[in-house]
Amino acid sequence: MKPSAIVIGLAAGFAAALLFAGVVVQSTLAILLSLVAPLPILIASLGWGSVVGFIAALTAAVTVASVTGSLASGGLLFVSISLPAALIGHVAGLARPNETSPGGLDWYPVSRILFGISAIVAVICLLVGWIVGYDPQAIGDELSRALATQFGPEAPSEQLDAFAHQVVAIIPFFQPALLVLVFVLCLYLAATITRLSGRLQRARDDLPTVASVLPRAALPVFGAALLSSFAPGALGTVGAVVAGSFGMAFTLAGLAAIHRMTRATRSRGLILFAYYMAVMILTFPLLVATIIGLSETARRPAAISS
C-alpha cells in the first residue's frame, strides 16, 4: 500500500471523528453534522480501497477516544458508525471478472448492498442497545418526568406519561430506519464525489432500475420481524429494530420504483415534485412507497432481485 493511501485513511478518520463530535458535545448543529460522519470513511473506501476505509474507521474511533478521554465514546463511534461504514464501503467495492466480457467486471448488486445495509444497521442497533442497557420502561418514565417538569404541575400527568411511553415505543422502529437512510445517502454522496474525482472504478448504476427491488430473502425477514414487533419484551424490541431497518429499505426501493415508472411520462418532474412535497407533509406517501417496494420485490423475476 502506498504511503499516500495511508495518509488518506488517517485524514478520513480524523474528519469522521470531527463530524461525530456532535454526539459528544451535544450541540444541535454538530449533532446534525454527525449524521454525515460515515461520509469520509466511505469516500476513503470507495476511492482508495477497503483497507484504507478500515484504517479510517479505526482512526476515527481512536481519535474520539483520545480527545474525550473516554474509551466508551470511541467504542460507540466504532460500533455504530465507523466500522459499519467501512463494511458498507467494502461491499460496494466488491467485483468479479465478467465471464462474457474479457477485462470487464461484475460489481456487487445494488439490491444486495441495500439488503446488507439493512442487516448491518439492525445488528448495530441491537448491539448498541445491549451495550447501553436499553430499557423502554425506564426511558419512558424518565421522559415522562422530564415532560412533567417542562409543562408544570398543572399538566395532566396521565396523558404526559402515556405520550412519553408512546414516543419511546417508536424508537426501535425509527432509529434503525433513520440509520439506513443515513448510510444510503452517505454512500450515494461518497460514490458521486469519488466518481467526480476520477477515483471510483465502479460503473454508474441505473438506480431507479437496480435499486427498486431487494433480494427475495428480505420479504420473510421483514414479515417475521413485523410480526415479532407486536410481542412483549425483548422479542418485540428485536422485531421492531429489524422491521424498522428493512422497512426503510423497502421504502427506498419503492421510491426508486416510482422514479422508474414515471420515466415515460411527460409530467415526470411535476409528479415527483408533488410526491416529495406530500412526503414532507404526510406520512402516508412513504407507506405507499413501502408497499410498492414490497410488491416489486415479490413480483419481479428472482434474477433481477438477486
Residue 108 falls inside a structural domain: yes
Question: Final residue of a domain: which of 29, 59, 93?
Answer: 93
* Domain co-membership, 89 together with 108: no
Same domain, 255 and 117: yes
- Same domain for 162 and 225, yes or no, is yes
From 93, 109, 126, the end of a domain falls on: 93
How many residues are present in the chain?
306
Please say which residue of 41, 59, 93 terminates a domain.
93
Total domains in the chain come to 2
Residue among 47, 52, 56, 45 at smallest CA distance from 19: 56
For residues 236 and 153, membership in a common domain is answered with: yes
- Assess if residue 79 is contained within a domain: yes
Provide the 3-class DSSP secondary structure of residue 91.
helix
Q: Checking DSSP bridges between strand 105-107 and strand 95-97, what pairing results, if any? A: antiparallel
- Per-residue confidence (pLDDT) for residue 188, from 0 to 100: 95
First to last CA, the chain: 34
State whether residue 95 is helix, strand or coil.
strand
Answer yes or no: do 87 and 108 share one domain: no
> Using alpha carbons only, how large is the chain's radius of gyration in Å?
21
All cell numbers assigned to 126? 441491537
Helix, strand, coil % in the chain, rounded to nearest 5: 80, 0, 20
pLDDT tens, position by position, for the chain (306 residues)?
Answer: 677 788 888 898 888 888 776 655 555 666 677 788 899 999 999 999 999 999 999 999 999 888 878 788 788 888 888 999 999 999 999 988 877 776 677 889 999 999 999 999 999 999 988 877 777 777 777 777 776 676 666 656 677 677 777 777 888 899 899 999 999 999 999 999 999 988 888 888 899 989 999 999 999 999 999 999 999 888 999 999 999 999 999 999 999 999 999 988 888 899 999 999 998 888 788 899 999 999 999 987 544 444
- The answer to whether residue 248 sits within a structural domain is yes
> Quick check: is 249 in a domain?
yes
Please tell me whether residues 112 and 233 are part of one structural domain. Answer: yes
Handedness of CA 120, 122, 127, 129 (dihedral sign): positive
Asked whether residue 188 is assigned to any structural domain, the reply reads no
Same domain, 85 and 144: no
C-alpha of 257 from chain center: 19
pLDDT of residue 272: 92
- Provide the residue range defining the domain that includes 274: 99-179+207-306
- The rounded distance, in Å, linking the Cα atoms of 269 and 277 is 12
39 and 137 assigned to the same domain: no
Q: Are residues 88 and 221 in the same domain?
A: no
What is the predicted pLDDT for the residue at 155?
Answer: 59
Range 210-230 burial, b when 16+ CB lie within 10 A, else e: bbbbbbeebbebbeebbebbe
Domain annotation covers residue 195 = no
Among 226, 204, 213, residue whose Cα is nearest residue 260? 213
Same domain, 25 and 155: no
Backbone angles phi, psi at 36, to 5 degrees: -100, 15
- The three cell numbers of residue 112 are 444486495
- Both 135 and 257 in one domain: the answer is yes
Indicate if 136 and 216 belong to the same structural domain. yes
Look at residue 187 and tell me if it is in a domain: no
- Whether residue 81 lies inside any domain: the answer is yes
pLDDT, residue 151, reads: 64
Query: What would the grid cell of residue 205 be?
Result: 448504476
